[in-house]
């Protein structure tokens, strides 16, 4: 862990990380959260995502990146702090409620139903509004034409990259305002990783706000409009993707370390 990490973020730093947050589609303020009562993985995490933005979250292993996404999606108990969606307090709302309110979530693992076909997986994505299937299927397969070609194939028989398309597509079936992606390139070859990053940008360019946790920090910063560096459950740095990629402290403390973690 870096020497700069602290148990909580001082108010001036929090103000900086939340600067220009007015009008955000989703916002997290000073989150303390964890899987057990009294045991926090997040220790004062802040972030926001404006409509149409692609926001990256990077940081060392164990920093709380995936926990932050799960807290936003109601899968981890928030002990203190608030999450708002378009100004509405959604702190600790159930995941199914959050889907109906406009949040999509793609977990890192076990993110498809392997025994179901591609089409059936996408049908599961709009189970709350089955009448929308035809229009949403057309939208998703326009983004990912491969899914139309593979619509009758079982998801478990697809390649890793194709399964990731299915997972993303299913999360898009309810027309979310914001899509949460947890390590979308994990376990994929370099070529397929590049494909996933291209797909993520396509989703964003189609009008969906995206928050992406990613261990491939350098590639994440290349495509992110803005990004946050998480360390020990605290927001350590924030800025544009380009600024963080060129920040000497971020390079020294995180990007070099993350590169070693990725190659180890």
Per-domain residue ranges of the chain: 52-73+93-229+236-263
d(CA 183, CA 189): 13
d(CA 181, CA 199): 12
Prediction pTM value: 0.90
- Nearest in space to 118 (alpha carbons), one of 173, 198, 67: 173
Question: Strand, coil or helix: what is 257?
Answer: helix
- Contact assessment for residue 238 and residue 227, using Cβ atoms and an 8 Å cutoff: yes
Per-residue pLDDT tens digits of the chain, which is 264 residues long: 333 333 456 666 666 788 888 999 999 999 999 999 889 999 999 999 999 999 999 999 999 999 999 999 999 999 999 999 999 999 999 999 999 999 999 999 889 999 999 999 999 999 999 999 999 999 999 999 999 999 999 999 999 999 999 999 999 999 999 999 999 999 888 999 999 999 999 999 999 999 999 999 999 999 999 999 999 999 999 999 999 999 999 998 888 755 444 443
Domain 52-73+93-229+236-263 has CATH 3.40.50.2300: no
């Amino acid at each position: 862990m870096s020497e700069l990490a602290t148990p909580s973020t001082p108010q001036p730093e929090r103000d900086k990380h939340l600067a220009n947050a007015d009008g955000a589609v989703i916002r997290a303020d000073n989150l303390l959260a964890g899987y057990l009562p009294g045991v926090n993985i997040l220790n004062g995490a802040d972030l926001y995502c404006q409509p149409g933005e692609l926001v990256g979250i990077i940081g060392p292993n164990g920093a709380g990146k995936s926990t932050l996404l799960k807290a936003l999606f109601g899968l981890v108990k928030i002990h203190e702090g608030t999450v708002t969606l378009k100004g509405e307090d959604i702190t600790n709302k159930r995941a199914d409620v959050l889907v109906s309110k406009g949040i999509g979530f793609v977990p890192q693992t076990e993110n498809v139903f392997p025994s179901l076909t591609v089409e059936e997986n996408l049908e599961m994505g709009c189970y709350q509004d089955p009448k929308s299937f035809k229009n949403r299927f057309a939208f998703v397969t326009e983004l990912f034409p491969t899914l139309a070609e593979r619509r009758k194939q079982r998801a478990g028989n697809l390649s890793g990259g194709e399964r990731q398309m299915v997972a993303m597509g299913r999360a898009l079936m309810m027309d979310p305002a914001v899509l949460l992606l947890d390590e979308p390139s994990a376990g994929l070859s370099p070529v397929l990783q590049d494909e996933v990053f291209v797909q993520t940008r396509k989703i964003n360019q189609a009008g969906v706000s995206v928050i992406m946790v990613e261990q491939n920090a350098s590639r994440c910063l290349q495509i992110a409009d803005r990004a946050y560096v998480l360390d020990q459950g605290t927001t350590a740095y924030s800025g544009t993707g380009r600024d963080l990629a060129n920040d000497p402290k971020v390079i020294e403390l995180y990007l070099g370390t993350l590169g070693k973690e990725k190659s180890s």
